């Protein structure tokens, strides 16, 4: 497959125009390698371990959720240099699908909702709200991570789901407007927790986002690469 055809396919899966403004310049082909795409690997993050494993497998393309280059570069050093050195030495392409894949149909938030068996799902600006019949313990089990509860949790349904670092005051207010009784996301800040109008369920960033990347890979016959367990965020 030519690189152009691959990019067209990924644009159909999650159009880059669906990404949040802060993702400008961080979506799509971030590191350019060879023009012929045969072996494709997929991961949540382009860590040195992931890139090494992809190179070992002879990958022409690595698809990830988080870009390793968040800010404009004025110097290339440390971890960024290590990742780029591995990518460039192998001639591998790096393709990023971030908030566009969060919002896309069948994307990150939809996969979490399906994993949690949510029904009557409605879309928010950056997440979903649906009816939930699971207990917090069952949610933690399905996400394969621990769960921290903020606030007085009396009801869990309807449940708002925003994968990634979604504990934003405006999003929690939006979820309340949708009638949500609880809000599931990751990386809670104490300042947000103090004023949140809904009880919040804090999962791990990995637990909420890895399932969609794994499903993306499995559905296309790609190889999914996991970081060693020691690198996974654990609460």
Percentage of the chain modeled with pLDDT above 70: 97
Q: What is the mean pLDDT of residues 16-42?
A: 94
pLDDT value at position 105? 95
Is residue 233 over pLDDT 90?
Answer: no
Cα(217)–Cα(71) distance, integer angstroms: 27
Q: pLDDT band at residue 79, thresholds of 50, 70 and 90?
A: confident
Token readout for 28 is 């799509």
pLDDT value at position 73? 74
Fold annotation for 105-205: 3.40.1390
pLDDT value at position 234? 45
- Stretch(es) of the chain classified as CATH 3.40.1390.30: 3-100, 105-205
pLDDT value at position 232? 54
Cα(103)–Cα(128) distance, integer angstroms: 9
Cα(139)–Cα(13) distance, integer angstroms: 27
Token readout for 1 is 């497959």
Find out if CATH 3.40.1390.30 is the number for domain 3-100.
yes
Is residue 200 over pLDDT 90?
Answer: yes
CA distances from 63 to 70, 145, 220, 226 (A): 16, 23, 12, 13
Cα(88)–Cα(94) distance, integer angstroms: 10
Mean of the per-residue pLDDT values of the chain: 93
Is residue 3 over pLDDT 60?
Answer: yes
Beta-bridge mates of residue 224:
42
pLDDT tens digit sequence for 100-111: 999 999 999 999
In the block, residue with structure tokens 């979490």? 112
């Amino acid at each position: 497959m030519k690189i152009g055809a691959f990019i067209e396919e990924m644009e159909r899966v999650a159009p880059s125009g669906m990404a949040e403004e802060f993702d400008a310049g961080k979506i799509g082909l971030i590191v350019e390698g060879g023009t012929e795409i045969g072996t494709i690997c997929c991961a949540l993050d382009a860590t040195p371990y992931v890139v090494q494993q992809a190179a070992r497998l002879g990958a022409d393309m690595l698809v990830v959720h988080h870009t390793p280059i968040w800010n404009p570069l004025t110097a290339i050093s440390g971890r960024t240099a290590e990742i780029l050195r591995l990518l460039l030495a192998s001639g591998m392409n790096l393709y990023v699908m971030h908030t566009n894949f969060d919002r896309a149909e069948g994307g990150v938030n939809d996969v979490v909702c399906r994993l949690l068996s949510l029904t009557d799902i409605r879309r928010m600006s950056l997440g979903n709200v649906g009816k939930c019949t699971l207990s917090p313990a069952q949610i933690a089990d399905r996400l394969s991570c621990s769960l921290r509860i903020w606030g007085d949790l009396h009801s869990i349904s309807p449940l708002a789901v925003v994968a990634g670092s979604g504990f934003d005051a405006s999003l929690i207010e939006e979820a309340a407007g949708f009638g949500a009784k609880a809000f599931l996301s990751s990386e809670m800040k104490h300042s947000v927790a103090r004023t949140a109008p809904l009880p919040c369920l804090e999962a791990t960033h990995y637990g909420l986002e890895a399932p969609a990347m794994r499903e993306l890979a499995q559905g296309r016959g790609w190889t999914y690469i996991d970081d060693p367990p020691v690198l996974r965020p654990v609460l």
